[in-house]
């Protein structure tokens, strides 16, 4: 009998043919059977399109679990720095994405994860259990969260907002649909994940699907399920992975999926985050690496039942970055109900803020930038981008230096855009301005807005961009024109003992600085992979004028002792390398 083809109408009214997944089946073997050998035999059968093991994948949990309950105020801005980071600050001044769209319950966001704490006060009014399902437990269909990961992800996407308690979600009023495909240990099979994807399309009729999990295996069954969901006009979002590797992680690396890397509060690639040309965009995920001020650099959100339902915690990972993108996708779908998934994806990716300046060495490897909800939703405004990474990223002082031609780079766009203007003045708060780009009617994103010849100028200069002559759209940036005292090594670096044994002590690195300066020391393995970075504040040991003595204990960013081998280090200050050396670890 001839199979009837399945079709679906997209939001734009276009009819598409859905891939046929009805012939996929699972075969369970006795424990003494070699699964790989059995798969090889099936692949030889011409009637079998493909065969693969039913791999287990892991939710992209924090690589250094550190949970804190009941500490701090969840409504305070430090706990929710990430919302400000992506253009979702306070409303009412026309500078927040929430001034343009807060979401609607018509938008369905499916979360394939460990379930959800559906009795949590910040989640219960947003969770639709009638469309949810538990693919893991045979005794119940209720997708209750026994891990915490799924509830944390759900809160980032759509915790009930403006309700006087807890945290704010990216999307104030979306419908959260939990599909439990991962168990209490955070493990889920490709079979359950694939069926969750099909359920998300056929039963939940998802607008957005969040997948905060991944693995290195490219599986045909999941690839087909992803294709099925993409053809059905779902926006697909997945975590890029937490291995600090360029190796693709799946499902993030599949073409229809928005692959998300993680950033810290200063727009640096998180120390654990994967990277590569397969990454589509970045979003806040927090950081567990050097310089992170404990949980304040992580992401705060809802959590599972821990003796009481209304629990919260901090986590870090690309698992936390992905739901910021999913929440934004839901806002865009609410504002543009007929826009197809590819259009939503383009707005998210193309209107992100370039952060290459903060991530030397990762240009093109963490997407075009970190998401900006304000611009993706059509916000009218300007944003000037820094040109050089500040030596101390925790400082409010921009010590970037320009000599000669200053290319003023930024964004000038939004609904109702007519023109932009660029001016500059002396000092950090100029009393008068000189116009250098008087009336440009071409909107731009992460592009050169104007140029200024700074030859012969000395001291601080401030540039500003204004859209349609509206002061509320203004953005400024300040840097130093001319010469600036540059830090140098007077002597060193000297270091020892070398070789050294981390089991018995640390290696000392000694050097003399010409002046006080904030410094980084980066440690790499012999392949050039960054394994550890240490920051030293200017004026303190490691960054003070004169002799400095700092120590490395042979521990990498993940708290592990490094293996025997050769390691390289680089001392960096004032945007450049000022010293380097080679260390041998021998236990």
What are the pLDDT digits (tens) for 341-395? 999 999 999 999 999 988 988 989 999 999 999 999 999 999 998 765 444 333 3
List alpha helices for 210-355, DSSP H: 220-231, 318-335, 341-350
Q: Please identify, among 332, 357, 376, the residue that sits at the C-terminal boundary of a domain.
A: 376
In which region does residue 244 sit, left (phi positive, over 0), alpha (psi from -120 to 50) or beta (all else)? left
CATH of the domain at 265: 3.40.50.200
Is the residue at 543 inside a domain?
yes
Same domain for 401 and 326 = no
Q: What is the pLDDT of residue 533?
A: 87
Greater model confidence, 93 or 431: 431
Instruction: Please provide the distance, in angstroms rounded to a whole number, between the alpha carbons at the two ends of the chain.
Output: 69
* CB distance 244 to 237 below 8 Å: no
Cis peptide preceding 251, ω within 30 of 0: yes
Is the residue at 53 inside a domain?
no
How does residue 31 score in pLDDT terms, banded at 50, 70 and 90? confident
* Separation between Cα atoms, residue 109 and residue 116, nearest integer Å: 13
Same domain for 206 and 156 = yes
Tell me if residue 423 falls in helix, strand or coil. strand
Same domain for 575 and 432 = no
CATH of the domain at 397: 2.60.40
Q: For 259-286, what is the mean pLDDT?
A: 95
Q: Which of 115, 111, 208, 126 is nearest to 163 (CA)?
A: 126
Q: For CA atoms 532, 535, 540, 545, give the dihedral sign.
A: positive
Say if residue 73's pLDDT is above 50: no
* Separation between Cα atoms, residue 176 and residue 119, nearest integer Å: 13
Task: Pull the structure tokens for residue 520.
Answer: 């980084």
Q: Residue 477 forms beta bridges with which residues?
A: 463
Say if residue 129's pLDDT is above 90: yes
* Separation between Cα atoms, residue 233 and residue 229, nearest integer Å: 7
Say if residue 214's pLDDT is above 70: yes
Same domain for 437 and 315 = no
Using alpha carbons only, how large is the chain's radius of gyration in Å?
26
Tell me if residue 146 falls in helix, strand or coil. coil
Active site positions, annotated:
113, 149, 319
Same domain for 511 and 417 = no
Same domain for 225 and 270 = yes
**pLDDT tens, residue by residue, 525-536:** 888 888 888 988
Is the residue at 23 inside a domain?
no
**For the chain, how many structural domains are there in total?**
3
Same domain for 507 and 398 = no
Say if residue 177's pLDDT is above 90: yes
Least confident of 241-250, 469-478, 512-521: 512-521
- For the chain, the average pLDDT equals 85
Q: What is the pLDDT of residue 68?
A: 25
Is the residue at 17 inside a domain?
no
- Which structural domain range is residue 499 located in? 489-585
Same domain for 127 and 113 = yes
**pLDDT tens, residue by residue, 140-149:** 789 999 999 9
How does residue 105 score in pLDDT terms, banded at 50, 70 and 90? very high
Same domain for 394 and 368 = no
Same domain for 415 and 512 = no
Q: DSSP assignment, residue 62?
A: -
Share of the chain above pLDDT 90, in %: 59
**pLDDT tens, residue by residue, 477-518:** 988 787 656 678 889 899 999 999 999 999 999 999 988 887
Q: What is the pLDDT of residue 508?
A: 95
Same domain for 170 and 265 = yes
Say if residue 294's pLDDT is above 50: yes
* Separation between Cα atoms, residue 362 and residue 367, nearest integer Å: 9
* CB distance 554 to 495 below 8 Å: no
Q: Please identify, among 322, 351, 376, the residue that sits at the C-terminal boundary of a domain.
A: 376
* Separation between Cα atoms, residue 515 and residue 517, nearest integer Å: 6
Residues belonging to the chain: 587
**This prediction's pTM:** 0.74
Say if residue 233's pLDDT is above 60: yes
* CB distance 421 to 439 below 8 Å: yes
Q: What is the pLDDT of residue 288?
A: 66
Is the residue at 214 inside a domain?
yes
Same domain for 517 and 473 = no
Q: Please identify, among 437, 459, 481, the residue that sits at the C-terminal boundary of a domain.
A: 481
């Amino acid at each position: 009998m001839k199979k009837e083809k399945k079709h679906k109408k997209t939001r734009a009214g276009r009819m598409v043919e859905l891939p046929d997944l009805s012939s996929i089946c699972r075969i369970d073997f006795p424990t003494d059977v070699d699964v790989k050998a059995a798969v090889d035999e099936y692949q030889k059968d011409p009637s079998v399109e493909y065969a693969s093991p039913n791999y287990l994948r892991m939710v992209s949990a924090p690589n250094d679990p550190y949970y804190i309950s009941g500490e701090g105020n969840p409504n305070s801005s430090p706990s929710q720095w990430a919302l400000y980071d992506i253009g979702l600050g306070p409303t009412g001044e026309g500078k927040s994405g929430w001034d343009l769209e807060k979401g609607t319950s018509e938008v369905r966001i499916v979360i394939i994860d460990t379930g959800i704490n559906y009795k949590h006060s910040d989640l219960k009014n947003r969770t639709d259990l009638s469309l949810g399902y538990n693919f893991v437990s045979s005794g119940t269909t209720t997708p209750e969260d026994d891990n915490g990961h799924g509830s944390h992800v759900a809160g980032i996407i759509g915790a009930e907002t403006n309700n006087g308690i807890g945290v704010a979600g990216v999307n104030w009023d979306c419908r959260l649909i939990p599909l439990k495909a991962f168990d209490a240990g955070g493990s889920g099979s490709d079979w359950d994940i694939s069926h969750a994807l099909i359920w998300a399309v056929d039963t939940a009729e998802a607008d957005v699907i969040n997948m905060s999990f991944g693995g290195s295996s490219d599986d045909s069954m999941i690839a087909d399920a992803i294709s099925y969901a993409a053809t059905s006009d779902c926006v697909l979002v997945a975590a890029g992975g937490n291995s600090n590797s360029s190796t693709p992680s799946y499902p993030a690396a599949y073409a229809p999926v928005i692959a998300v890397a993680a950033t810290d509060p200063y727009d640096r690639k998180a120390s654990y985050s994967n990277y590569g040309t397969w990454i589509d965009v970045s979003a806040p995920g927090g950081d567990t690496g050097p310089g992170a001020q404990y949980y304040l650099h992580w992401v705060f959100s809802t959590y599972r039942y821990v003796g009481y339902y209304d629990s919260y915690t901090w986590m870090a990972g690309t698992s936390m970055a992905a739901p910021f993108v999913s929440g934004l996708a839901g806002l865009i779908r609410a504002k543009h109900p007929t826009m197809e998934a590819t259009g939503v994806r383009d707005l998210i990716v193309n209107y992100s803020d370039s952060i290459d300046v903060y991530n030397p060495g990762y240009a093109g490897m963490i997407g075009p930038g970190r998401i900006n909800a304000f611009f993706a939703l059509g916000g009218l405004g300007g944003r000037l981008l820094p040109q050089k990474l500040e030596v101390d990223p925790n400082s409010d002082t921009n010590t970037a230096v320009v000599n000669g031609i200053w290319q003023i780079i930024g964004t000038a766009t939004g609904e109702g855009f007519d023109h932009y203007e660029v001016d500059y003045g002396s000092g950090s708060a100029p009393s008068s301005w000189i116009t250098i780009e008087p009336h440009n009617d071409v909107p731009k994103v992460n592009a050169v807005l104007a140029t200024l010849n700074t030859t012969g100028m000395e001291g601080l200069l401030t540039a500003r961009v204004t859209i349609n002559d509206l002061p509320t759209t203004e953005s400024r940036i300040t840097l130093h024109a001319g010469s600036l005292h540059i830090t140098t090594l007077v002597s060193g670096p000297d270091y020892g003992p070398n070789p050294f044994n981390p089991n018995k002590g640390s290696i000392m690195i000694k050097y003399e600085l010409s002046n006080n300066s904030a410094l980084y020391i980066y440690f790499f393995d012999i392949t050039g992979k960054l394994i550890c970075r240490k920051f030293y504040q200017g004026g303190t040991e490691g960054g003070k004028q004169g002799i400095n003595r700092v120590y490395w204990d042979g521990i990498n960013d993940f708290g592990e002792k490094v293996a025997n081998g050769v390691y390289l280090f680089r001392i960096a200050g004032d945007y450049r390398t000022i010293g380097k050396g080679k260390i041998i670890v021998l236990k």
